[in-house]
Structure 1
C-alpha cells in the first residue's frame, strides 16, 4: 500500500489534479462494504494533510464499522456537471486504517482550520489506485495509476 505522499512523489501532477478535484467540493462519496459484502455509499469529507489522506466519521457509524471490519474503500469526488468539461473527475481506492491516536491530527486540523470536530472516528487511507478523468476535445481521457504498475492513459470517444 502506498501513502498519499508516496503516490504524490511518484505522480505529482496527477496528485495535484486529484487533490484539487476533492478540494473543489469538500463533500465526497465513499464506498465501503457491509457485513454481507454488499456496497454502502456514504458521504465523507476527505482531508489531505501531513502527506496523508484522512477522513473522520461519526463515532461508531455504519461507515466506521464497515471500514474497521473490512478496510477496502473507493472514494469519488463530487462531479458538478455530467459532461465533466469544466473540471474532470477523480477516484481513489485502497485501504483504511482506524487511527486511535488523534492528538497530532487534531492539532494540525485546528491550526489549519480553527475547527475542533469533537468526538469522531479517524481513518488514514493508503492508496492502491488513483483515477483521473478529463475531457479533451470530443473525447474522454482516463489516466489511472495502480500501485506497482504505474500509470496508464486511455482515450475514449
Structure 2
C-alpha cells in the first residue's frame, strides 16, 4: 500500500477513469507526461510539469490528477505500468499511436509528429519539390515568400502553452 492509502491497483483504476474524462486538450497535455514517465526521462518530465503550472491561478482538477499520477506511476510494478499504457491505448487508439511514436522517436518538433522519408522529413521533401520547380523555371516570376525573406518555417521556434 502506498502513502496515499490506495493500492496500486486502485491507483491504476483511477488513472484509467480520469483518462476517460480528459478532454482532447488534456490528453495532448498528458501525452508527453506519460511518455516521459514511461521512457524514464525525469528531466523532460520536470520540464513538462513546470509548463503546466499556472501562477496566480488555483490548481485545476487536471493538474491535481497529474500530480497524483507522478507520485503513483514510479511506485507501480512494470505490469501495472504496462496495463496503463494498454488501457489508455484501448480507450483512444490515436493517443496510443501518438504515444508509441513519441516513445520511439522522441517529442514532436513544433507540435508536429515527424514521419521520416529516408533521411528527409515530409516537409523537407515538399520544400525540395517546390525548389526543384522554381529552379526548372516553373513559377520563375514568383519566388516563394520564405525564400525572399530568408525565413524557413521549419526554423521558427514555436512555444505551445499547456491547456488545463
Would you call these one fold, judging by a TM-score over 0.5? no
> What band does the TM-score fall into relative to the shorter chain?
under 0.3
Structure with the greater alpha carbon radius of gyration: 2
Q: Which has the higher strand share?
A: 1
